[in-house]
């Protein structure tokens, strides 16, 4: 079945530094990748949608300069949290939409802690 | 607007009990509907889906039927196990291929 690899699974960083999270579709080409944020005991909040080779589309209220998304190929998208602050601590999940079948596959998530 | 309303938890059950999690949606047209499951510390896994009215999705003993009359997609399982303890999300797809999720329902099954 379709597999999406997301890493790192956990990262701790200092305030002011930047962190990059990778999301890779292993056995299919992803037309579109989605980035979500999940707070404890809450649902997933869509942050942005990225299409290969074009700029990401951000949801209202999400700072595009803070959450940089790059979708350089049909199998890789990255989310960079720039100048991280403790309030950016959260669980970040990516999802990839299969170019052919249209199904959605989720990564295993990244737990970011900013200290 | 397009949204998903899901029964709030948490839900605590004994093994072999019957589980129902209610989900209703608002939408124009007939969007595809999904149930996802999230185990502790993990991402989401697709549990089942239905793409048109009256479809029944099923997997691992779970079932949900797409009811256009009541705009519902309730999740059911006749006999739960401890391993079913997780958070369950109802979701629908929008015209721009984005998934909208319900708030999630935490289910705990006790032996």
pLDDT in tens, A32-74: 999 999 988 888 899 999 988 888 999 999 999 999 999 888 8
What tokens were used for B98? Answer: 């984005």
The helix, strand and coil proportions of chain A, stated in percent and rounded to the nearest 5, come to 5, 55, 40
With tokens 């052919």, the residue in question is A100
Across the A:B interface, residue pairs with CB atoms under 8 Å apart total 41
Q: CB of B99 within 8 Å of any CB in chain A?
A: yes
Q: How many whole angstroms separate alpha carbon A61 and alpha carbon B48?
A: 31
CA distance A104 to chain B (A): 8
What is the per-residue pLDDT for B73? 97
Task: Tell me which residue in B99, B102, B104 faces A104 most closely, judged by beta carbons.
Answer: B99
Bridge partners of A5?
A: A24
- Report the pLDDT averaged over residues A101-107: 85
Burial class of residue B52 in the structure, from the number of CB atoms within 10 Å of its CB (0-12 exposed, 13-18 middle, 19+ buried) = exposed
Q: How many whole angstroms separate alpha carbon B99 and alpha carbon A103?
A: 11
The rounded mean pLDDT for chain A is: 92
**pLDDT tens digits for range B27-82:** 778 889 999 999 988 888 999 999 999 999 999 999 999 999 999 999 999 999 99
What is the per-residue pLDDT for B42? 84
Q: Other CB atoms closer than 10 Å to residue A83's CB: what's the count?
A: 12
Q: Which residue of A has its CA nearest to B42?
A: A108
Helix (H, G, I), strand (E, B) or coil at A21: strand
What tokens were used for B27? Answer: 């939408």
- B97 confidence band (pLDDT: 50, 70, 90): confident
- A84 confidence band (pLDDT: 50, 70, 90): very high
Q: CB of B89 within 8 Å of any CB in chain A?
A: yes
Q: Which of A42, A46, A20 is nearest to A33 (CA)?
A: A46
Verify whether the Cβ–Cβ distance A43 to B104 is below 8 Å.
yes
Which is more confidently placed, B14 or B26? B14
- B16 confidence band (pLDDT: 50, 70, 90): very high
Q: What residues of B are in contact with residue A6 (Cβ under 8 Å)?
A: 43
Q: Pick the residue of A44, A93, A95, A101 with the most B CBs within 10 A to test the interface with B by mutation.
A: A44
What is the per-residue pLDDT for B2? 58
Helices (H) then strands (E): counts for chain B: 0, 12
- Report the pLDDT averaged over residues B12-36: 93
Is the pLDDT score of A93 beyond 60? yes
Please answer whether residues A23 and A104 qualify as being in contact, where contact means their C-beta atoms are separated by less than 8 angstroms.
no
What is the per-residue pLDDT for A54? 83
Q: Which residues contact A60 (CB under 8 A, 6 or more apart)?
A: none
The helix, strand and coil proportions of chain B, stated in percent and rounded to the nearest 5, come to 5, 50, 45
CA distance B16 to chain A (A): 25
């Amino acid at each position: 079945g379709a597999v999406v690899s997301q890493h790192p699974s956990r990262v701790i960083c200092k305030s002011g530094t930047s962190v990059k999270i990778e999301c890779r579709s292993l056995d299919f080409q992803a037309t579109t990748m989605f980035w979500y944020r999940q707070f404890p005991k809450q649902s997933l909040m869509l942050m942005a949608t990225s299409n290969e080779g074009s700029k990401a589309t951000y949801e209202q209220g999400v700072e595009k300069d803070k959450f940089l998304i790059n979708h350089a190929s049909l199998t890789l998208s990255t989310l960079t949290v720039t100048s991280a602050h403790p309030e950016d601590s959260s669980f970040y999940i990516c999802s990839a939409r299969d170019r052919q079948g249209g199904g959605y596959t989720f990564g295993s998530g990244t737990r970011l802690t900013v200290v | 607007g397009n949204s998903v309303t899901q029964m709030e938890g948490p839900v605590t059950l004994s093994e072999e009990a019957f589980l129902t999690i209610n989900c209703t949606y608002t939408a124009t047209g007939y969007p595809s509907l999904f149930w996802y499951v999230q185990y502790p510390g993990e991402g989401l896994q697709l549990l089942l889906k239905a793409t048109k009215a009256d479809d029944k999705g099923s997997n691992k003993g779970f079932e949900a039927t797409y009811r256009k009359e009541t705009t519902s997609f309730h999740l059911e399982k006749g006999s739960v196990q401890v391993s079913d303890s997780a958070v369950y999300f109802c979701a629908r797809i929008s015209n721009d291929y984005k998934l909208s999720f319900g708030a999630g329902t935490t289910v705990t099954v006790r032996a």
